[in-house]
């Protein structure tokens, strides 16, 4: 990866801590990011108070002017977004569609990158998971996430509601290309397409055709296909078989939460919403949500946010700094005493200390 | 449940063994069904050779006349349908859409019933699954399975393919009602709605509203909501928490394969495609596929097919006979020697012997 900011030494970082534990885990991610930055590299942070709190106070989700400002940054660090469950003032989708997905779509984050590894010391619910180390390349800008569709006769017994999954050759091919390139760079060079081609035959056909077409350009990559339902089985019975998975937006959402679960929990799952063409800033965020039930209590594990900061550094071209964070996290996990809970800030401090010294 | 056939003592059973291991496991299910039938009850079987083989030989999937004949039966027992993977003469979806889903849709199987239990002796990949005993009520006649949608400029770089999930108040309410009634009959009386209301806001709204509405009629049932991604996490970390789950056609497909995996494998997962209004015969089938790689080798475990026969008897009103099969299966599982493989017919014989003896 090239390093677009190395010439100035200043990285313009948009920080969106969001709601609930998003605030706490972002603080720790920033703490670790500071100590991990290579000599001479400076982070210039701008904080954006977006999320449930702002929406409930002002009715604003993501003003156009704010989106414009965010666009001018080199990268975005996001905590988590979402209010209390079933808050009547915050209908489902307002923040997800209006903020999180809006950013992914507007900034063309077509590669939603979600690595999964069983780190030493991490507690998998599987009795025999094996050596798990794979990455899911989830399409991020189309599929069932477009918001297409609508409702007729809302609230009546005659209501009809549709959701339209939109799949373009343009959108499918570019994410498949990215996944093949990633598989080619990895030792095992294996790529699995996950879809449901036997039922979703229209979308399935374009995914299947482009997967076969791009495969001819990567003769060294071993390919494989699995229906989403079968993939959930292998994820619990033989997750070590996976190397790179490419899949659509919704299947990717589902399979990555499952992947997080079997590798030791959502507290460790990091993600990058990547614009590989670098036409807009990429965004890094933990896979977990805002967990309002434990917010403000310093109970959240900030590791997923810290690992997201590592992905951010890697994306910006600072591979060594990224690796240093990952190593520190692995050491921290190995040193954890099962049954002992640390405060959110203690975990951040411990990882930061390992990075610096 | 009423017993619509008790007056005649003859149950007209349409048998569709299908492809691959479907043939072998159906033979065992029928063997057990025979010995389990209550005194005086006779099964009058009609076999229908539908599936990949017939399609490849004749181009026929499900002729209208055959569908008409099947309609005249009291119930359907199906093995599994599907040819060799990637057979160019058998594009994905032909059999699934043309036969399996066609039957579910035409016969109005709106309750796709999938019980999940960890039977004693069954090998869960989870180290600590707990006492798992839940049932998924999967909607079976709409959602993303309608086949709505299409493709434009197929095979070109400008291809666009859509899949339309169709959700009607009519279809959603009736399956939610069925799920509440089931939850009410179970000791724990707990019902969890699984959806993705924060992203699929149109479909999510109608599911959410009707779930709340019907809930007011069942004050004793405790309700709960989970996004599909979160549900996969709980399915691996705390599956014992579930009692009844109600969800849409696609989420149900995914979550039930995962449920099968964590309860000891797809070899044990039975399902009923139920028309609760009894306007057409219900259909019972194992959740697994036709597994062409092991077909004809007597390697398949027929337990899922046998348990599907038990669901069939229960649906027809023979609760005692159904329970006898389940008990025999539990005993057979408990008596299995890990590492010892039995032939498909040996498993069937063993279960049948326990039922009769
Ligand atoms: C919050 C929600 C919109 C989001 C998604 O569905 O993509 C989340 O589940 C995720 O995986 O990042
Ligand atoms: C074969 C396929 C069409 C089917 C489905 O998706 O419903 C299967 O996976 C199932 O779960 O019964």
Q: What is the pLDDT of residues A202-251, one digit of tens each?
A: 999 999 999 999 999 999 999 999 999 999 999 999 999 999 999 999 99
Q: Which ligand 2 atom is at minimum distance from the Cα of B285?
A: 12
pLDDT at site B120 = 85
A13 near A46, Cβ under 8 Å?
Answer: yes
- In chain B, residues with a C-beta closer than 8 Å to the C-beta of A196 are 250, 253
Could you tell me the strand order of the sheet in which B10-18 lies? B42-47, B10-18, B75-80, B282-286, B270-274, B111-117, B133-139, B244-247, B190-195, B222-227
DSSP track, B54-88: HHHHHS-S--HHHHHHHHTSSEEEEEE---STT-T
pLDDT at site A1 = 41
**Chain A: residue nearest B167 by CA?**
A161
B227 near B196, Cβ under 8 Å?
Answer: yes
Q: Which ligand sits nearest to residue B272's alpha carbon?
A: 2
- In chain A, residues with a C-beta closer than 8 Å to the C-beta of B266 are 233
Q: Which ligand 2 atom is at minimum distance from the Cα of B289?
A: 1
Q: Does A197 contact B93 at a Cβ distance shorter than 8 Å?
A: yes
Dist. CA A65–CA A223, nearest whole Å: 44
- Determine if ligand 1 sits within 6 Å of the CB of residue A253: yes
**Chain B: residue nearest A260 by CA?**
B233
Residue A120: pLDDT band with limits 50, 70, 90: confident
B74 near B12, Cβ under 8 Å?
Answer: yes
B257 is catalytic: yes
A196 is catalytic: yes
Q: What percentage of chain A exceeds 90 in pLDDT? A: 93
pLDDT at site B234 = 98
Return the structure tokens found at B304. 């899922």
Q: Which ligand sits nearest to residue A93's alpha carbon?
A: 1
Q: Tell how far the Cα of A272 is from the centroid of ligand 1, in angstroms.
A: 12
Q: Name the burial class of residue A344, with classes exposed (0-12), middle (13-18) and buried (19+) by CB atoms within 10 angstroms of its CB.
A: buried
Q: Does B169 contact A157 at a Cβ distance shorter than 8 Å?
A: yes
pLDDT at residue A354 greater than cutoff 50: yes
Query: In whole angstroms, how far apart are CA B169 and each of A150, B139, B172, B197, B268?
Result: 14, 12, 5, 15, 33
Return the structure tokens found at B85. 């993977």
A218 is catalytic: no
pLDDT at site A91 = 93
pLDDT at site B8 = 59
Dist. CA B122–CA B334, nearest whole Å: 8
φ, ψ of residue B4 in degrees (nearest 5): -70, -15
- In chain A, residues with a C-beta closer than 8 Å to the C-beta of B229 are 253-254, 256-258
pLDDT at site B357 = 85
pLDDT at site B122 = 87
- Determine if ligand 2 sits within 6 Å of the CB of residue B52: no
Residue B336 CB contacts under 8 Å (≥ 6 apart), including other chains: B121
A67 near A108, Cβ under 8 Å?
Answer: no
A241 near A207, Cβ under 8 Å?
Answer: no
- In chain B, residues with a C-beta closer than 8 Å to the C-beta of A206 are 151, 159, 161
Three-state secondary structure readout of A290-339: CCHHHCCCCCCCCHHHHHHHHHHHHHCCCHHHHHHHHHHHHHHHHHCCCC
Which of B127, B173, B230 faces A125 most closely, judged by CB atoms? B127
Dist. CA B190–CA B193, nearest whole Å: 10
**C-alpha distance from A89 to closest chain B C-alpha (Å):** 14
Candidate from B81, B100, B163 with most ligand 2 atoms within 8 A of CB, to mutate: B100
pLDDT at residue A6 greater than cutoff 60: no
- In chain B, residues with a C-beta closer than 8 Å to the C-beta of A201 are 92-93, 97, 147
Which one, of A55, A23, A75, A2, lies nearest residue A305 by Cα? A23
**Chain B: residue nearest A147 by CA?**
B200
A339 near A121, Cβ under 8 Å?
Answer: no
- Determine if ligand 1 sits within 6 Å of the CB of residue A100: yes
A74 is in an annotated binding site: no
Q: What is the DSSP letter of B291?
A: -
Q: Name the burial class of residue B15, with classes exposed (0-12), middle (13-18) and buried (19+) by CB atoms within 10 angstroms of its CB.
A: buried
Which of A161, A166, A201 faces B93 most closely, judged by CB atoms? A201
Name the pairing type of β-strands B222-227 and B190-195.
parallel
Q: Does B149 contact A165 at a Cβ distance shorter than 8 Å?
A: yes
φ, ψ of residue B104 in degrees (nearest 5): -60, -40
Which of A169, A228, A235 faces B158 most closely, judged by CB atoms? A169
**Chain B: residue nearest A198 by CA?**
B93
**What crossing angle do the helices spanning A228-237 and B249-262 adopt, rounded to 10°?**
20
Global pTM?
A: 0.96
* CB atoms closer than 10 angstroms to residue B6: 14
A248 is catalytic: no
For chain A, list the domains and their CATH numbers. 1-109+276-357 (3.40.718.10), 124-263 (3.40.718.10)
The active-site residue out of B74, B108, B243, B253 is: B253
Query: In whole angstroms, how far apart are CA B351 and each of B47, B57, B287, B298, B355?
Result: 23, 35, 19, 16, 6
Q: What is the DSSP letter of A174?
A: H
Q: Name the burial class of residue B293, with classes exposed (0-12), middle (13-18) and buried (19+) by CB atoms within 10 angstroms of its CB.
A: exposed
Q: Tell how far the Cα of B146 is from the centroid of ligand 2, in angstroms.
A: 13
Beta bridge pairs of residue A213: none
- Determine if ligand 2 sits within 6 Å of the CB of residue A230: no
Dist. CA B233–CA A247, nearest whole Å: 19
If you compute the radius of gyration of chain B from its CA atoms, what whole number of angstroms results?
20
- Determine if ligand 1 sits within 6 Å of the CB of residue B229: yes
pLDDT at residue A2 greater than cutoff 50: no
Q: Does B85 contact A147 at a Cβ distance shorter than 8 Å?
A: no
Q: Which ligand 2 atom is at minimum distance from the Cα of B271?
A: 12
Q: What is the pLDDT of residues A22-46, one digit of tens each?
A: 999 999 999 999 999 999 999 999 9
For the four alpha carbons of B62, B67, B70 and B75, in that order, the dihedral sign comes to: positive
Q: What is the mean pLDDT of each run of 10 residues along chain B (357 residues)?
A: 58 97 98 95 96 96 98 98 91 94 98 95 93 98 98 97 98 98 98 97 98 98 97 98 98 98 95 98 96 96 98 97 98 90 97 96
């Amino acid at each position: 990866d090239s390093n677009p900011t190395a010439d100035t030494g200043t990285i313009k970082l948009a920080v969106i801590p969001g709601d609930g534990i998003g605030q706490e885990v972002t603080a720790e991610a920033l703490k670790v990011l500071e100590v991990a930055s290579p000599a001479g590299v400076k982070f210039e942070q701008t904080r954006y108070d977006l999320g449930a709190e702002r929406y409930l106070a002002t009715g604003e989700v993501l003003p156009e002017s704010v989106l414009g400002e965010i666009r001018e940054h080199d990268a975005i660090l996001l905590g988590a977004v979402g209010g209390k469950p079933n808050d009547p003032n915050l209908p489902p989708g307002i923040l997800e569609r209006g903020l999180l997905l809006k950013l992914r779509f507007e900034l063309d984050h077509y590669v939603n990158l979600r690595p999964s590894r069983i780190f030493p010391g991490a507690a998998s619910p599987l009795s025999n998971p094996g050596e798990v180390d794979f990455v899911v390349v989830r399409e991020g800008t189309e599929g069932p996430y477009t918001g297409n569709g609508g409702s007729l006769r809302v609230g009546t017994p005659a209501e009809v509601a549709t959701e339209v999954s939109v799949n373009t050759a343009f959108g499918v091919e570019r994410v498949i290309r990215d996944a093949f390139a990633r598989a080619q760079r990895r030792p095992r060079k294996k790529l699995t397409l996950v879809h449901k081609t036997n039922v979703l035959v229209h979308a399935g056909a374009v995914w299947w055709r482009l997967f076969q077409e791009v495969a001819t350009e990567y003769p060294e990559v071993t390919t494989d296909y699995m229906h989403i339902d079968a993939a959930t089985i292998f994820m619990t019975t033989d997750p070590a078989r996976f190397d790179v998975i490419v899949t659509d937006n919704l299947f990717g959402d589902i399979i990555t939460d499952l992947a997080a679960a079997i590798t030791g929990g959502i507290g460790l799952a990091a993600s990058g919403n990547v614009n590989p063409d670098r036409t807009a800033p990429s965004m890094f965020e933990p896979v977990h949500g805002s967990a309002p039930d434990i917010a403000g209590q310093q109970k959240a594990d900030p590791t997923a946010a810290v690992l997201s900061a590592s992905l951010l550094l890697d994306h910006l071209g600072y591979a060594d700094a990224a690796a240093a964070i990952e190593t520190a996290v692995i050491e921290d996990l190995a040193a954890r005493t099962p049954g002992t809970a640390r405060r959110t800030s203690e975990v951040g401090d411990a990882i930061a200390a390992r990075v610096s010294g």
